[in-house]
Amino acid sequence: MRQSTDVRYLIVPGWQGSSPEHWQSHWQQVLPACTRVEQDDWLLPQRQAWVAQLERQIAADRRPVVLIAHSLGCVTVAHWAAQAAPALLARVRGALLVAPADVERADCPAALRNFAPLPGAALPFASVLVGSSNDHAATASRALEFAQSWGSDSVILPGAGHINVQSGHHHWEQGFAWLYQLQARSDESFQRSA
């Protein structure tokens, strides 16, 4: 693990936030220099407001940041990256994108539809996308499409559902492996560009 003075972690929850039992809340407690994006309205998310709040959180601290996003949080990260200033994009060392929500699917909840269409441009920082073979919010094939569009390394877990409390993912220690993989990849690319 890198020292907390080198990098900070920013939890980016999805729709309805992450409850105290959610793995994002557990990770926030155990990772050094970790905070979360707090949205004004978790139940009726507005794309512009969510993206603006993510930007404020990234801009508020000059240290390099690793984003840890879940569900609609992944979509928020992609929308932010598509329009952010280069100076702020340069602060992001990487993004772990877990169970991204397909806001373009036919049965997408109405509250999330203002996040469509999904950005299709490659993210300008290292990313790892972790999906599931039976996620109601995005099929495995759609998750792989997102990963290809965004330039993310991808992993599809068998039978992991939406990788949240309802699917039994409370501490999700397994997920740290992808976080460390992401950090190793971003460290390499940062050292090459330095």
Q: What domains sit in the chain, N to C, each tagged with a CATH number?
A: 8-193 (3.40.50.1820)
Residue 173 has what pLDDT? 92
Rounded to the nearest 5°, which phi and psi values hold at 12?
Answer: -120, 90
Q: Is 187 helix (H, G, I), strand (E, B) or coil?
A: helix
| Cα distance between residue 129 and residue 143, in whole Å | 8
Going by pLDDT thresholds of 50, 70 and 90, the confidence category of residue 165 is: confident
Tell whether the model's pLDDT for residue 94 goes beyond 60: yes
34-36 β-sheet, strand order: 34-36, 8-12, 65-70, 92-98, 126-132, 153-157
**Token pair for residue 147?**
């990963």
Residue 1 has what pLDDT? 40
Residue 2 has what pLDDT? 40
Tell whether the model's pLDDT for residue 20 goes beyond 90: yes
Q: What's the whole-number average pLDDT of the chain?
A: 93
Going by pLDDT thresholds of 50, 70 and 90, the confidence category of residue 194 is: low
Tell whether the model's pLDDT for residue 4 goes beyond 50: no
Residue 193 has what pLDDT? 62
Q: What pTM does this model have?
A: 0.93
Going by pLDDT thresholds of 50, 70 and 90, the confidence category of residue 185 is: confident
Tell whether the model's pLDDT for residue 192 goes beyond 70: no
